[in-house]
Chain A
Amino acid sequence: MNLMADILLNVTIAFLVGSVLFGIQRKVMARIQLRPGPPIIQHLLHTMKFFIKETVFPKTAAMPFYVVITVILCAIWVAAVIVGPVTQGPLLLLFAIFAIHKIVEHNAGSSSGSPYGKLSCVRAVFSAAAELPLFAVLIIIFLQTGTMQLSTIVAYQAEHGALIFTLPLAAMMFIALIISKSYYYSPLNITLAKDIVSGFETEHFGMLRGFIMISEAITWYMLLWVFLTVFFGALSPLMYLIGMVILTALIGAVNALTPILNPNHSVMTEITLAFIGIVGSIIMMFYI
């Protein structure tokens, strides 16, 4: 297939599936809390709604950065789709995109001039320490497979079996990372915690918010896609969908049943999980 068509196809799938998965997550959370919950396509409808709302700009906004940052956020996740499902390129690039996401969160918060945005911006810096599990997963996978190329990691698993069975603690660290990037009432996502309204998104309105919501959906899809690809290997599209729905429902249950941690506790929880994951994985790799 033509590369551009392939990119467009995968980005559209990422956006639509990510949006529906958010709906499923909210539905699971609502049912646990004995509420009917919003319709499954609520995130998608919200995204569409923001594109027909008036876009207003706060007087305190740092122009043009305030506008550009939303486009950058969208662009990095489109790049992630290109590196991931389209080309099955290097894992290192995907993790670089996760790191840039943190910088974008920081800048989106600071560019609005809102106190909530600024708090979210400070927390984005603070929680960068919590990216430790991310890099640990990367190193452990490299030690086990000897490669950073997604296509080669998939081929490795076809020969030796799924990595989830050989590196369960690395998978646990990755799940912690996914929870920390989960958008609805995550115990670990301190940049979007409800005590600072909507965090770095608070002062982005109309079309700009629409772009952010598209990015959120693609981010969610990509996180789950990377997890399934790295720890389960080559899956059919149907198995990807089933895996994503199960993971989203599990994370929805985690989010519904846990309190939202304060920044110190969130970062320390992630660092502790990273420590257990790194030490445990190395012991398992070399001694079991």
Chain B
Amino acid sequence: METQIYLVYILSFVLGSIVGLVLSYKKYTEPFVRKNIDVAALVLAIIGWVLALNFALIPIIPDYISITVGVFLFAMVIGMRPGYGRYETVIGFLVAGIIWILRTVLS
């Protein structure tokens, strides 16, 4: 069962990356030169990473659903047009990591 679930996560990552790539090419017509933070991507990255790493915070939703949705969302940001989504991914991971540390190590 565990292997099947991981296939679902991997498929979620691949599909999220494809969607992110297609949408970001529509949104950004120029290469990554301005180095601004995209607020929408930042929100997606934070929600995605928090759902994937801190699924235990929402006990009413089964963990595999939280992780699948989380992986899809952060994959959308990771998979953006080259250069875009880099800062958003790091910030999202850091926020989720801090929450994870507060929840598990320090509680």
Contacts and interface: CB of A to CB of B under 8 A. Distances in A.
Contact of A237 (B2, B11, B81): B2
Contacts of A237: 2-3, 6
Contacts of A238: 6
A12 B11 CA distance: 10
Contact of B10 (A17, A37, A40, A236): A17
Given A9-B3, A237-B3, A39 B10 contact: no
Interface string A1-43: 0000000011011001100100000000000000011111100
B2 A236 contact: yes
B6 A40 contact: no
A39 B17 contact: yes
B92 to A, nearest CB: 16
Contacts of B78: 40
Of B17, B80, B81, B83, the most chain A CB neighbours within 10 A belong to B17
B7 A36 contact: no
B64 interface: no
Interface in B68-101: 78-83
A91 interface: no
A16 B10 contact: yes
Nearest to A41: B17
Q: Is the interface of B mostly helix, strand, loop or mixed?
A: helix
A12 B3 CA distance: 11
A38 to B, nearest CB: 6
Nearest to A27: B82
Contacts of B32: 36
Of B6, B21, B78, the most chain A CB neighbours within 10 A belong to B6
A44 interface: yes
A36 B11 CA distance: 24
Contacts of B14: 16, 20, 41, 44
B3 A36 contact: no
Which bucket holds chain B's interface residue count?
Answer: 20 to 34
Q: Is the interface of A mostly helix, strand, loop or mixed?
A: helix
A36 B32 CA distance: 8
Interface residues of A, number: 19
A9 B7 contact: yes
Contacts of B107: none
Of B7, B13, B32, B78, the most chain A CB neighbours within 10 A belong to B7
B80 to A, nearest CB: 8
B81 A39 contact: yes
Contact of B79 (A16, A17, A40): A40
A241 B79 CA distance: 18
Interface of B: 2-4, 6-7, 10-11, 13-14, 17-18, 21, 31-32, 78-83
Interface of A: 9-10, 12-13, 16-17, 20, 36-41, 44-45, 236-238, 241
Given A13-B7, A17-B10, A237-B6, 9 more contacts: A9-B7, A10-B3, A16-B7, A16-B11, A36-B83, A39-B79, A41-B17, A41-B79, A238-B6
16 contacts: A9-B3, A10-B3, A16-B7, A16-B14, A17-B10, A36-B31, A36-B32, A36-B82, A39-B21, A39-B79, A39-B80, A40-B17, A40-B78, A41-B17, A41-B18, A237-B2
